[in-house]
Amino acid sequence: MSPQIPKQKIEQTEGTLYVVATPIGNLGDITARALRTLREVKIIGCEDTRHTRKLLTHFDIHTPVTSYYREKEAHKAKFLLEKLLSGDDIAIVSDAGTPAISDPGHVLVRIAGEAGIKVVPIPGPSAITTALSIAGLEDTTFFFGGFPPSKPKQRRKYFKTISTLPCSVIFYESPHRISSCLKDCLTVFGDRHTFVFRELTKIHEERLSGPLSQLVDKVKENPRGEFVFILTGAKKSATDKPEDLDALLTWYHEQPDMTLKKAVSSIAADLDISRSMVYKKALMIWNQN
């Protein structure tokens, strides 16, 4: 009888990381795919295990959970990566909405991707798109600013860096900072048309809109619930520089104390074209005006 050949050890395959969106308020908004994923994975990394257990209990899901909050994100990401490399499928969730969008998750997603782990999004609720869908804005181009800095000085400095954006700007804010945050917005952004949403998808959902100066007075100090607010974009000033050559030359010609030489140098640099071409065009336009 020939000796038995030992079976080769089958190499363990890596697990899959699922980034699962959960309801931002109404539990009925969870998707069937999200529920199936949360049932089938080996472990769920959560921003707050107490919060996630309420969700899991409601849907009779008994998958083990582990905390994955911001202060421990780097450490727990390494732990969860080891689980993934050993073959376990893992889901990460935030308390509400989509992980890694102003919530923990990006560290694990990044290092899992770098390690060759398959990362699968399970899309669902997001406070950003929920707010936009009921704002009624014709132009849905926007800048998402996340949670503004908590300290007033840093917050105003941050606002100044984005105050000239022509698109709408969207922020998240906590109830104990919303009042002071809106006042800082009024100081930096001016009295723009603004939308304030509280408790989106929940029983006491509230929508306010109007000039920011009016909304500052309507939002109470330390209200209940989480907030999303949208400021409309900065209006283009009549003194803003145009973008085409002819209009630029006319604009520079109308500026006080502007010389032909200075205008040609600035335009050539701005448009990355030859000074000689700008100069010839400038002579024609400036002599006409």
27 and 107, same structural domain?
yes
Residues 6+ apart with CB under 8 A from 279: 260, 264
The answer to whether residues 53 and 120 belong to one domain is yes
Indicate the residue among 108, 125, 142 that finishes a domain.
125
Confidence at residue 108, expressed as pLDDT on a 0 to 100 scale = 94
Question: Domain check: are 98 and 135 in the same one?
Answer: no
Residues 249/285, Cβ–Cβ less than 8 Å:
yes
pLDDT on residue 10: 43
- Can you tell me the distance from the alpha carbon of 205 to that of 199, in angstroms, rounded to the nearest whole number? 5
The whole-number pLDDT of residue 260 equals 82
pLDDT at 236: 66
Domain count, the chain: 3
- Using CA atoms, how far residue 282 sits from 246, 255, 267, 278, in Å, is 8, 14, 10, 6
Which residue range(s) make up the domain with 82? 16-125
If asked whether residues 121 and 30 sit together in one domain, one would say yes
pLDDT of residue 135: 94
Residue showing tokens 């050890």 = 9
Residues 57 and 138 in one domain: no
Chunked in runs of 10, what are the mean pLDDT values of the chain (289 residues)? 43 86 95 98 94 96 92 88 95 94 90 95 95 91 95 94 93 94 94 95 94 91 88 73 71 78 80 81 75
How far, in Å, CA of 135 to CA of 146, rounded? Answer: 18
Among 152, 125, 134, which Cα is nearest to 197's? 134
**Residue 11 in domain:** no
pLDDT score at 222:
72
d(CA 245, CA 271): 8
β-sheet bridge partners, residue 243: none
Q: Is 86 found in the same domain as 135?
A: no
Domain assignment of residue 138, yes or no: yes
Point out the domain boundary residue: 125, 156, 183.
125
pTM for the whole structure:
0.75
CATH of the domain at 55: 3.40.1010.10
pLDDT at 72: 81
- Of 92, 107, 125, the residue that ends a domain is 125
